[in-house]
Structure 1
Amino acid sequence: MAPPMIDPALFGELKSKIEEDISVRKELDQILDDLEQHVSFTQGLLSRIHSTPRSKYATLLSEVEGGIKKEIETTGRLSTFASQYPYYKYNHKWTRTVQDAISTVILCAWLGGMSPASKPGEVGRLLTLEDVGEAFGVPVNLKDRDAFHITIEEYLLGLIAVIDELSRLAINSVTLGDNAMAVQISGFIKDLHAGFQVLNLKNDILRKRVDSIKYAVKKVEDVVYDLSLRNLIPQESQ
């Protein structure tokens, strides 16, 4: 009898690989469900800055830092598990959630949270990509090995989300009587906008999101201009 033209073991091997992939995806989904819950909780706390005077930020940010701690712990689980498999095979599953987690950390730090002991409550501090990686305890922009990491694109997209939130805060801070905050935000996001202009961006999603920054800048500039017309800008801000 002629030997079979196809080795029966071929489909057995494929079946094993498919089952392994399904198992990996299920585990990733579970970890990401947990991370999304922690990020959503932290974002909810941060949304209260729009109705909270700056004098009460310390109490609010201590709660935010508790939420961020859970984000960091879950990101550590994700890093440990995902690093066992090819990065670019599964990274699309977590990149949006990681961007959101990054934005909560950057915003919390800018508002005065997560500050070093030498500079407690310093508003306006921008975390770098390396600072974010250190906060989460994971590598950034990896080139020498195939493992979980935070990419430059994820950092920049998280930063753009912070710009959107701060442009809203500029308006609400005036409502709360904190005109100096609006002026500080205006200067900060204009500096960021200028910084983004020097980047040679190839990522289409990132390029579209960067285009939106100019609208945030314009919105905050209008707020500051109105304050200046009314002579309501604090002298130290000028």
Structure 2
Amino acid sequence: MAPAMIDPALFEELKTKIEEDTVVRKELDRIIDDLSQQVSFSQGVLSRIHSTPRSKYTILLPQVEDGIRKEIQCVGTLSSFASRNPYYKYNHKWVRTVQEAISTVLLCAWLGGLGSEARPGEVGRLMTLEEVGAVFAVPVNLKDRDAFHITIEDYLLALINIIDELSRLAMNSVTMGDNELAVLISSFVKDLHAGFQVLNLKNDILRKRVDSIKYAVKKVEDVVYDLSLRNLIPAKMDE
């Protein structure tokens, strides 16, 4: 009995699927590269907070917001394209960049940016996951359909990123004579650390990153302790 012949159409079909996948990946790479460039711009402007007095944030933050508006456009393009394809097949390509974009939004808002008539900006503001989703105009924590969204893990990892940045700012703010900001950062970082301890985290990467928060807490506590030894903590914050 002659052996069965393999139908050539099988490999033609596989070839077509591979080519389609390559097209999707190339387009995602292009979109993500555009987003990465806008995130890098926003991060570059935000890095100036370490040498900019708080009184000058009103000049700095609008520049950050300009960068974030371009990030929002890129995320919109990404969301539209990615939602036409299986989310968990491709999300590894953009997850890091999207988390960095979220970090720029969280930090800008914490510094007093991204305010509105309904809610003016204020230093120390923590945006919720839902508020971040609203900024980017994308769903969050989707469970009912396979589409682009911001996950809880994305939000938490972005939050840890700004903790690192704020702990550095605590030290630099003292150098600029803004002891009040250092104390505010210390209180905020300790509250976040306490909040993270409540979470039952299953994600290994997230658990490891959460462990690193204690070093940021120690760093800002040391700054505030040094200020207290020198009686340099503003009186109203002692109350």
**TM-score, with normalisation over the residues of structure 1?**
0.98
Structure 1 segment 122-141 matched on structure 2, within 5 A: 122-141=122-141
| Residue in 2 that maps onto 1:186 | 186
Q: How far apart are residue 117 of structure 1 and its match?
A: 2.1
**TM-score, with normalisation over the residues of structure 2?**
0.97
| Residue in 1 that maps onto 2:77 | 77
| Residue in 1 that maps onto 2:149 | 149
Deviations 1:39-79 (A, max 9, x none): 00100000000000000001100000000000000000000
Structure 1 segment 1-238 matched on structure 2, within 5 A: 4-238=4-238
Q: How far apart are residue 235 of structure 1 and its match?
A: 1.0
Give 3-state SS (helix, strand or coil) of 2:185's partner. Answer: helix
- The answer to whether the 8 Å contact 1:163/1:213 transfers is yes
- Unmatched tracts of structure 2, length 5 or more: none
Give 3-state SS (helix, strand or coil) of 1:71's partner. Answer: helix
Q: How far apart are residue 237 of structure 1 and its match?
A: 1.5
Residue type matched to 1:158 in 2? Answer: A
Give 3-state SS (helix, strand or coil) of 1:236's partner. Answer: helix
Q: How far apart are residue 147 of structure 1 and its match?
A: 0.3
The CA distance in 1 between the partners of 2:57 and 2:36, in whole Å, is 24
The CA distance in 1 between the partners of 2:117 and 2:125, in whole Å, is 14
The CA distance in 1 between the partners of 2:236 and 2:139, in whole Å, is 40
Q: How far apart are residue 168 of structure 1 and its match?
A: 0.2
Residues 118 and 236 of structure 1: is their aligned pair in 2 closer, same or farther, counting only changes over 3 Å? farther
- The answer to whether the 8 Å contact 1:58/1:121 transfers is no
The CA distance in 1 between the partners of 2:78 and 2:153, in whole Å, is 19
Which range moves more in the overlay, 31-40 or 3-12? Answer: 3-12
What is the percentage of aligned positions where both structures have the same residue? Answer: 78
The CA distance in 1 between the partners of 2:133 and 2:191, in whole Å, is 23
Give 3-state SS (helix, strand or coil) of 2:115's partner. Answer: coil
